[in-house]
């Protein structure tokens, strides 16, 4: 049977994540085309050999960063989506933790935005398109978690009557836009990020609530 | 004094706009790096000579498209921002016409998003950065129109107490995201687009209103 490969060991997983952190930050700063594996191995602080042990090439790293961004997003929102509680309380939890995630893993989410942009322009090879389609499915699954809570809220009357399939788009736009405008400030604290997450969660919930007029 | 140059004549302005339409659509479909002046002159249906008469090179076209996107946005929102009426009614008008604009001039707004992405990655020359900074100023001026209405609404009590400088971000995200998800459908009518614009405007206003809880 042989010994388990380094790739599957705890040490291997930790190394993979550290490589992805380095790759995310390089792609964020340089963009996919300009970034090189040398930049990434420099940022990681090791030779290219160790990176090639885990990842076939630059494209594989680019997609792995995007995949991880979608997984991190799911981990942030799914527990709230599936929890008990009112649709408004669950949506608030999702939007809050989603926003916090974007601020704390900015590089991953910004690279995910780059990937979406690349997909929209369509200048990709067939195998890249297959990878991008796969990531779009993860993105769609996260969107479905939001849609599910919106639909429940519309049915229960907690939210205004609306078309959930349409309204989920500006809702995600409001949250995803964070990766465009947010830049960590000098001396920023966890409390500062908490305040941003609270305000954005309030915005998201308020957008769906009924209101007297 | 000589005769007025073609560039400033009505015919010249119309030609410029038609060239920009072609450029916007080519950049949207191929992205800045992959697009060539040949692609743009093919889409415009003329030789490169006429394009060079108006625009120095591909970069100049790319920035002209983005500048026009910001101008179109201002033209859509400014009349509402400066009109009389309640802050909520004015914000509704801004968000409605802004959304409609994005659907009707999708290529321009998507190229503006590409430019923002390029700016974020920073892989630009000094003269490109100067152009991008200029376009960012136009973008900021549009944002200031929204902020002004939000501030008035908060002061008058029409909107919830909030930090307008922060809340304008998810508001713009909710609207700007349209250029990511929207694709004109087959047999789509002006009425279909009107419905989308109404729903998004409702979302934007509702997000800021006070609500019982």
- pLDDT above 80 for B213: no
Shortest Cα distance, chain B CAs vs residue A3, angstroms: 42
pLDDT in tens, B182-202: 999 999 999 999 999 999 999
Best of B109, B112, B203, B205 to disrupt the A interface by mutation (most A CBs within 10 Å)? B203
Q: Which region among A74-78, A110-114, A200-204 has the lowest average model confidence (pLDDT)? A: A110-114
Structure tokens at B204: 């934007």
Please give the interface size between A and B, counted as residue pairs whose CB atoms are below 8 Å apart: 137
Closest by CA to A181, choosing from A106, A115, A114, A116, is A106
Query: Going by C-beta distance under 8 Å and a sequence separation of 6 or more, which residues neighbour residue B104?
Result: B193
CATH hierarchy code of domain A1-55: 1.10.10.60
Contact A169 B162 (CB under 8 A): no
Instruction: List A residues 20-39 in contact with B (Cβ-Cβ < 8 A).
Output: 28-31, 33-34
Token duo for residue A56: 């076939």
Q: What pLDDT score does B158 carry?
A: 95
Contact check, Cβ <8 Å, B213/A208: no
Question: Does pLDDT of B23 surpass 80?
Answer: yes
Query: Which pLDDT score, from 0 to 100, does residue A46 have?
Result: 87
Name the minimum distance, in Å, from the CA of A45 to any CA of chain B: 22
Residue A1 has what pLDDT? 45
Please report the pLDDT score of residue A158 as a whole number. 95
Q: Which tens digits make up the pLDDT trace of A128-187?
A: 888 889 999 999 999 999 999 999 999 999 999 999 999 999 999 999 999 999 999 999
CB B94 within 8 A of CB B159: no
Q: Which CATH number fits domain A63-208: 1.20.58.100, 3.90.420.10, 1.10.357.10, 3.40.50.1100?
A: 1.10.357.10
Query: Is 50 exceeded by the pLDDT of residue B127?
Result: yes
- Residue of B110, B170, B196 lying closest to A166 (CB–CB): B196
As a whole number of angstroms, the distance between CA A174 and CA B52 comes to 40
Domain map (residue ranges) of chain B: 1-55, 63-208
Q: In the numeric block, which tokens belong to residue A182?
A: 């947010």
Task: Report whether B114 contacts B176 (CB < 8 A).
Answer: no
Q: B157-184 pLDDT, tens per residue?
A: 999 999 999 999 999 999 999 999 999 9
Measured between alpha carbons, how far is residue A149 from residues A133, A154, A168 in Å? 25, 9, 10
Q: Tokens representing B99?
A: 């959304």
User: Distance of CA A27 to CAs A32, A45, A108, A177, B176, Å?
Assistant: 6, 16, 9, 18, 23
* Cα A6 from Cα B58, distance rounded (Å): 48
Taking residues A20-44, report their average pLDDT: 93
Quick check: B70 and B44 in contact, CB under 8 A?
Answer: no
Distance from the A47 Cα atom to the nearest Cα atom in chain B, whole angstroms: 24
Mean pLDDT for the stretch of residues A49-58: 92
Contact: B170, A172; criterion CB under 8 Å:
no
Is residue A121 less than 8 Å (CB to CB) from chain B?
yes
Chain A residues within 8 A of B88 when measuring between CB atoms: 213
Report the chain B residue with the minimal C-alpha distance to residue A158: B213
d(CA A22, CA B74): 39
Percentage above 70 pLDDT, chain A: 94
Q: Which comes out higher in pLDDT, residue B91 or A128?
A: B91
As to burial, measured by CB atoms within 10 angstroms (0-12 exposed, 13-18 middle, 19+ buried), residue A138 is: middle
Distance separating alpha carbons of residues B98 and B76, to the nearest angstrom:
6
pLDDT beyond 80 at B121? no
Phi (first) and psi of residue A135, to 5 degrees: -70, -35
DSSP letter at A183?
-
The phi-psi region of residue A157 (left if phi > 0; otherwise alpha if psi is between -120 and 50; otherwise beta) is left
Q: CA gyration radius for chain A?
A: 19
Q: Is the pLDDT of residue B3 over 90?
A: no
For B:75-104, CB contacts with A below 8 A are 88
Each residue of B31-76: pLDDT tens digit?
888 899 999 999 999 888 989 999 999 999 999 999 999 999 999 9
Q: Where are the alpha helices (DSSP H) in A35-121?
A: 37-44, 48-54, 58-82, 87-104, 106-121
Same fold? B1-55, B63-208: no
Average pLDDT, chain B: 92
A51 is written with which tokens? Answer: 């990176």
Please tell me the least confidently modeled range out of A123-127, B15-19, B88-92: A123-127
More reliable by pLDDT, A129 or A19: A19
- Residue bearing the bigger pLDDT, B37 or B12: B37
Cβ <8 Å between B211 and A209: yes
For residue A174, list chain B residues with Cβ-Cβ distance below 8 A.
170-171, 173-174, 177, 207
ipTM value for the complex: 0.91
């Amino acid at each position: 049977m042989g010994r388990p490969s380094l790739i599957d060991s705890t040490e291997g997983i930790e190394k993979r994540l550290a490589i992805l952190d380095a790759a995310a930050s390089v792609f964020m700063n340089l963009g996919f085309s300009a970034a090189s594996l040398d930049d990434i191995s420099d940022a990681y602080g090791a030779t290219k050999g160790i990176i090639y042990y885990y990842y076939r090439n630059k494209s594989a790293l680019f997609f792995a960063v995007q995949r991880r961004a979608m997984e991190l997003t799911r981990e942030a929102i799914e527990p709230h989506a599936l929890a008990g509680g009112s649709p408004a309380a669950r949506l608030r939890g999702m939007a809050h933790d989603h926003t916090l995630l974007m601020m704390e893993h900015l590089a991953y989410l910004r690279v995910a935005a780059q990937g979406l942009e690349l997909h929209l322009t369509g200048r990709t090879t067939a195998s890249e398109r297959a990878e991008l389609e796969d990531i779009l499915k993860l993105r769609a699954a996260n969107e479905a978690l939001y849609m599910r809570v919106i639909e429940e809220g519309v049915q229960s009357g907690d939210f205004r009557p609306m078309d959930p399939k349409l309204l989920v788009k500006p809702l995600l736009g409001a949250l995803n836009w964070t990766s465009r405008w947010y830049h960590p400030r000098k001396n920023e604290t966890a409390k500062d990020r908490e305040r941003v997450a609270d305000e954005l969660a309030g915005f998201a919930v308020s957008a769906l609530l009924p209101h007297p007029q």
